[in-house]
Amino acid sequence: MKKTIISPSPIAPCRFECTPAPSVFPRTVTPCRNNARENGWCEHHEYAARLLERARSYGCPRLEIVTTYTRYDMATHKEVNEQFVWEIGRGVDAWIAVCERVTPEHARKIEAVLEWECSGLFGKKSKVA
């Protein structure tokens, strides 16, 4: 008699890691509880999967994004312009680490910079190292 083993197909969780707001302490990371699709991401975090696929289409390059913002300095009672530099390393692992925690807003910004740097549409050589 032939035995048929039917093992239940475990549904993998989404690979996204949810981080609390900067004002929440302790800052513990919790995995997404939604069920993943075939690509490893749930429907809610599909934007992260799209960003990773776009990066892979360009070979997962090293990318540097400079953001300028204004904050109010309580000591001097003046607005201060500051820059924040976000670096993404070369390779799939570096991009996966970013995509696992990126917000939708940051994903759009990163994708725009990636397109600008790698597409060559503007007649300039890419500054991506």
Query: How much is the pLDDT for 85?
Result: 84
Residue 76's domain comprises: 46-119
Query: How much is the pLDDT for 65?
Result: 87
User: Has residue 86 been placed in a domain?
Assistant: yes
Query: How much is the pLDDT for 2?
Result: 54
Query: How much is the pLDDT for 44?
Result: 93
Number of domains in the chain: 1
User: Has residue 16 been placed in a domain?
Assistant: no
- CA dist., res. 12 & res. 40, Å (int): 8
CA atoms 36, 95, 86, 107: torsion sign: negative
User: Has residue 83 been placed in a domain?
Assistant: yes
User: Has residue 4 been placed in a domain?
Assistant: no
User: Has residue 87 been placed in a domain?
Assistant: yes
Query: How much is the pLDDT for 125?
Result: 47
User: Has residue 113 been placed in a domain?
Assistant: yes
- CA dist., res. 110 & res. 117, Å (int): 10
User: Has residue 13 been placed in a domain?
Assistant: no
User: Has residue 106 been placed in a domain?
Assistant: yes
Query: How much is the pLDDT for 6?
Result: 44
Low-confidence ranges of the chain (pLDDT < 50): 4-9, 122-126, 128-129
